[in-house]
């Protein structure tokens, strides 16, 4: 199957660096319009994309703030006429200064991990579902619903694997 992203609007959270930066550059190289979303900003990623001839715009997004998600997703949809693809990449799944086993996280850090890695994905996806409902775009609604279902299934598998092996 040949899947192309020419002129598709791709939203990537956590795109200011790391894996998110690489995904953003890859989608842009395939012709996508990339919404580079990151709580720390994504100007470096946008500069890399634009200097390579791609199209991208930076958005400051705190995935733990539902009001911010509504505002930013609405702004992206307004800027580009909609959203075609959403990649929930933002995450802080390791300790602040070093990798730790799950049983070594204190409650405060664990709550922060869940807020970003779980609630952020859920809230951002719900925001897209609400936007799709406003636009009466059933295909986007189905994709968002599938995304949430797949995410929950993946989370269950990862949790079980971690509990059984003690590795992540």
- Res 35: pLDDT: 98
- Res 136: pLDDT: 64
- Res 131: pLDDT: 83
- Residues in the chain predicted with pLDDT less than 70, given as ranges, are 1-2, 93-99, 135-168
Q: How far apart are CA 95 and CA 104, in angstroms?
A: 9
Q: What is the DSSP string of 21-65?
A: HHHHHHHHHTT-EEEEEETT--HHHHHHHHHTT-EEEEEE--TT-
Under 8 Å CB-to-CB from 114, ≥6 apart: which residues? Answer: none
- Res 137: pLDDT: 55
Q: The whole model's pTM is what?
A: 0.78
Are the C-beta atoms of residues 48 and 58 closer than 8 Å to each other?
no
Instruction: Give me the helices (H) in 81-137, please.
Output: 107-114, 120-135
Under 8 Å CB-to-CB from 56, ≥6 apart: which residues? Answer: 24, 28, 33, 34, 35, 36, 45, 46, 49, 50
Are the C-beta atoms of residues 74 and 131 closer than 8 Å to each other?
yes
Per residue in 92-103, pLDDT tens?
866 556 667 777
């Amino acid at each position: 199957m040949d899947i192309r992203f020419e002129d598709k609007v791709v939203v990537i959270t956590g795109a200011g660096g790391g894996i998110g930066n690489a995904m953003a550059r890859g989608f842009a190289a395939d012709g996508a319009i990339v919404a580079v979303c990151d709580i720390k900003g994504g100007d470096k990623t946008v500069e890399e994309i634009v200097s390579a001839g791609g199209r991208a715009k930076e958005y400051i997004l705190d995935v733990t703030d539902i009001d911010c998600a509504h505002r930013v997703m609405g702004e992206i949809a307004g800027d580009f006429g909609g959203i075609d693809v959403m990649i929930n990449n933002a995450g802080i799944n390791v300790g602040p200064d070093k990798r730790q086993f799950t049983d070594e996280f204190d409650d405060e850090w664990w709550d922060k991990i869940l807020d970003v890695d779980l609630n952020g994905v859920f809230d951002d996806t719900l925001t897209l579902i609400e936007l799709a409902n406003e636009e009466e775009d059933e295909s986007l609604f189905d994709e968002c619903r599938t995304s949430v279902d797949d995410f929950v299934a993946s989370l269950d598998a990862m949790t079980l694997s971690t509990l059984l092996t003690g590795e992540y």
